[in-house]
Amino acid sequence: YNWRKYGQKQVKGSENPRSYYKCTFPSCPTKKKVEMSLDGQITEIVYKGSHNHPKPQSTRRSSSSSSTFHSGGLDHHGSSDSFAIQQEDNTTSGSLGDDELSVISRDEEDCGSEPEAKRWKGENETNGGNGNGSKTVREPRIVVQTTSDIDILDDGYRWRKYGQKVVKGNPNPRSYYKCTTTGCPVRKHVERASNDMRAVITTYEGKHNH
């Protein structure tokens, strides 16, 4: 898709600037915000709204759309009308059209409540600089909310479930998965929204290296 930047601001409590974009298609309500670290690394991408039009053919190699999705560890396949969300082992899977997709912010999420949180953090952070106490930089986290009767959605990768727990504020259990490719650091967790049993929230962290 084509995007037009319409704003940028400094977010309270963060040293990273946040840029705001909207889809250039007339009357399309979809927007996104991209937060970047001072050294140019994307730290978070949040999408709002659903595209109400077909994907433009000319944007398959668009630097704005393709680089955004790849930097978050997901592939946006130019030859398909569906947005890939990811494939698990031995489960029924389904694919989603763009009109069924929305992405929400999970800024309030407490990563410390996740199983193996310390190991996850260590695998997904790299030292960002000259060794003089500089901050580490995490791969961007992408949160996708879909409406579906099944929890397992096709995103083109294979996953192994390694844990499940109930987190504070949501009576629905959260399941944790890791990519089955040897050496790949990507993990995700899947849960039903507390206020809508048909809403499936999938959170990805890390970038596929294969």
**pLDDT digit string, tens, across residues 172-191:** 899 999 999 998 999 999 99
Q: Contact, 192 vs 200, CB < 8 A?
A: yes
Residue 117 pLDDT > 50, yes or no?
no
Q: What is the separation of C-alpha 151 from the centre of its chain, rounded to a whole number of angstroms? A: 16
The stretch 29-34 carries a mean pLDDT of 86
**Gap between the Cα atoms of 68 and 53, Å rounded:** 20
pTM (whole model) above 0.85: no
Please state the rounded mean pLDDT for residues 154-160. 84
- Span 145-162, average pLDDT: 81
Other CB atoms within 10 A of residue 199 CB: 17
Cβ neighbours, 10 Å, residue 58: 8
In sequence order, the 6+-apart residues with CB closer than 8 A to the CB of 45 are: 32, 33, 34, 35, 68, 71, 72, 103, 140, 142
Query: For residue 113, is pLDDT > 80?
Result: no
- Per-residue pLDDT for 210 more than 60? yes
Element (H, E) at 81: none
Which range of 137-146, 150-159, 173-182 scores highest in mean pLDDT? It is 173-182
pLDDT of residue 138: 57
Q: What span, in angstroms and rounded, lies between the C-alpha atoms of 158 and 180?
A: 6
Whether the pLDDT of residue 169 is over 80: the answer is: yes
